[in-house]
Structure formats: C-alpha cells, structure tokens
C-alpha cells in the first residue's frame, strides 16, 4: 500500500527465448501489459524506461513471478506449435481510444492461421475508411504476438509493415501456416 492507502502498481518482467528472438514480457496485477521484440540489452533498457514512464513505477525483473507464469507458458507453447490461442488476462493501459478498439477486435476476431486486411479490420470496428489508422494502431500494439498484429496484411496480398521487422512477420505467419517457412 502507498501513503494514500492504494495498492502500488507492480510491473514485473522477464525475457523469453523464442524462434523469432528474445521477447520481453511485462505484466501487472491486471494482466500482460507489454511484449517487446528483439529484447537485447539495449532494446530491453529502452523498453523498461518507457514502461516506467508510462506506468509510473519501475519494472522489476521477476521471471518466477506468478504474474508472468501463465504468459511465459503460453508463449512457449505457441512457439512450440502446441497452442493456437492465447487465454491470458491483458492489461490494456498502454492503449486507448481507436487503437484499443482495433486491437481488441483483432485479438478476439482474427484466429490463428487467418489474416485480415487493414481496411477490413477498419470496417469491423465501424470505420470502413480508416485503413491507415488501423496501420497506426498496429504499430502502437503494446502486446504483439499475443494480440496478433502480424495477421494484418495489405488488401492486394502484400505483407504490409511490422514493428518487429518483416522477417519476424514472415516467420510468425509461417508458424501459423499462412506463408511457407522461409528458406533461410
């Protein structure tokens, strides 16, 4: 408890090795709050600074924390090909407004092995002309992989952009059977 009688916000984090490189997973009492690609020392440091700034508390490395246990287990199972759906509590506090609306629709409405176009996703949230805004929402996704922004592609069949890099997007889509496995 803090001096105002409220429970302190706690943010715990751990790095998980995956087929697409190390992922930083961070969680609060509400649920998984952040997934960060390519969690090398430099990337991890910047991500933790951003989290501290946005959430108002210093994240603590705690790979054994019960707040992270199920997320780590499910991420590992996903990359092992043993899990297609994430069933985790999510803390949406790093997203708001239209972006949160789009990300929630993506999380609940686009299943493993499926893809959706930016414009189609915009239409699903009642904004059929907002394909570019959907692209911005995908770029702001604080929970990639778990909230599968890699499943959003261009209308003409192009792969589209991706915050984790196009090779990472290709690997995720190959893992889900949407694209052939990269040759090298």
Largest CA distance in the chain: 57
Q: Given the residues 24, 107, 147, 149, select the one marked as catalytic.
A: 149
What are the residues whose beta carbons fall under 8 Å from the beta carbon of 65, sequence distance 6 or more? 12, 14, 27
Is 73 labeled as catalytic in the residue annotation? no
User: What contacts 47, CB < 8 A, 6 or more positions away?
Assistant: 24, 26, 34, 36, 39
Write out the catalytic residue numbers. 149
């Amino acid at each position: 408890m803090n001096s105002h009688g409220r429970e302190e916000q706690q943010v715990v984090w751990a790095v998980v090795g995956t087929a697409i490189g190390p992922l930083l997973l961070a969680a609060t009492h509400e649920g998984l709050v952040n997934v960060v690609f390519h969690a090398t020392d430099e990337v991890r440091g910047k991500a933790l600074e951003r989290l501290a700034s946005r959430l108002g508390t210093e994240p603590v490395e705690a790979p054994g924390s019960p707040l992270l246990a199920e997320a780590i287990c499910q991420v590992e199972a996903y990359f092992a090909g043993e899990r297609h759906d994430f069933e985790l509590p999510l803390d949406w506090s790093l997203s708001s407004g239209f972006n949160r609306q789009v990300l929630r629709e993506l999380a609940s409405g686009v299943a493993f092995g499926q893809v959706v176009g930016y414009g189609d996703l915009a239409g699903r949230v009642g904004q059929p002309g907002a394909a570019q805004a959907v692209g911005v929402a995908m770029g702001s996704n604080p929970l990639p992989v778990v909230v599968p922004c890699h499943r959003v592609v261009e209308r003409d069949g192009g792969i589209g952009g991706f915050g984790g890099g196009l090779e990472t997007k290709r690997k995720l889509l190959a893992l889900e059977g949407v694209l052939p496995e990269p040759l090298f």
